[in-house]
Amino acid sequence: MLKKIPRFFSSESQFQALHHKLKLLNCPFCRVTGCLNLHGFLYSYDNKPRGRRIFCSNRNKRKGCGRSFSILLAWLLKNFRLTALDLWTFISGLINGLSKQASWIKTGLSISQSFLYCLSRRLKTNVPYIRTKLLGVAPSFLQETFILLKNSSLKNNPIWWFQEHFQDDFLKHRPKALVF
């Protein structure tokens, strides 16, 4: 039976448990068992660890594919510099009726105006995906989706919980380019 490798982990002990059974798991690309090796840390722009790299070895006559993949920390967002806490602070401000600008000021981070609107558009694009993942709780509208996410989380940060629980990116889908 193929066991899926988690895409997110929240603590070093959780990763160590995965590391000890790495040889028993299948490569997500070639499905070969016994070829996965720890390949080091995955670093962010500011040289802080964002996760771990795993390598499917094809060296010394092994049957692996030679590809590597990442397992990320759940409290970080893939392809973003901001953390799940920063994003949740922004969403909480929107839920409480603040404007996009005022909600972002609450995070304490400085960004460009264009990034703020791109982030808002990306959130709106991902609402159907988030709703589908949370369908077991109840279907909802845009604002209610995030309230539902807040109420369903078992940790202080719902985005962290979402990524770790569903083993999927929170901001997975990118909005399509507007055609004029």
CB 35 within 8 A of CB 58: yes
Nearest CA to 52 among 69, 30, 65? 69
Give pLDDT tens digits for 128-172: 787 777 766 554 455 666 776 777 655 677 777 778 878 888 887
Q: Which two tokens stand for residue 99?
A: 């404007």
Edge-to-edge strand list for the sheet holding 8-9: 8-9, 68-73, 49-56, 36-43
Neighbours of 54 (CB within 10 A): 23
| Strand partners of residue 176 | none
pLDDT in the model for residue 53: 92
C-alpha 71: how far from its chain's center? Answer: 10
Neighbours of 170 (CB within 10 A): 25
- Tell me the pLDDT band of 178, cut-offs 50, 70 and 90: very low
Instruction: Measure the CA–CA gap between 74 and 56, rounded to whole angstroms.
Output: 23
CB 36 within 8 A of CB 18: no
pLDDT in the model for residue 54: 92
C-alpha 11: how far from its chain's center? Answer: 15
Give pLDDT tens digits for 64-119: 888 999 898 888 888 888 888 888 888 888 888 888 888 888 888 888 888 888 88
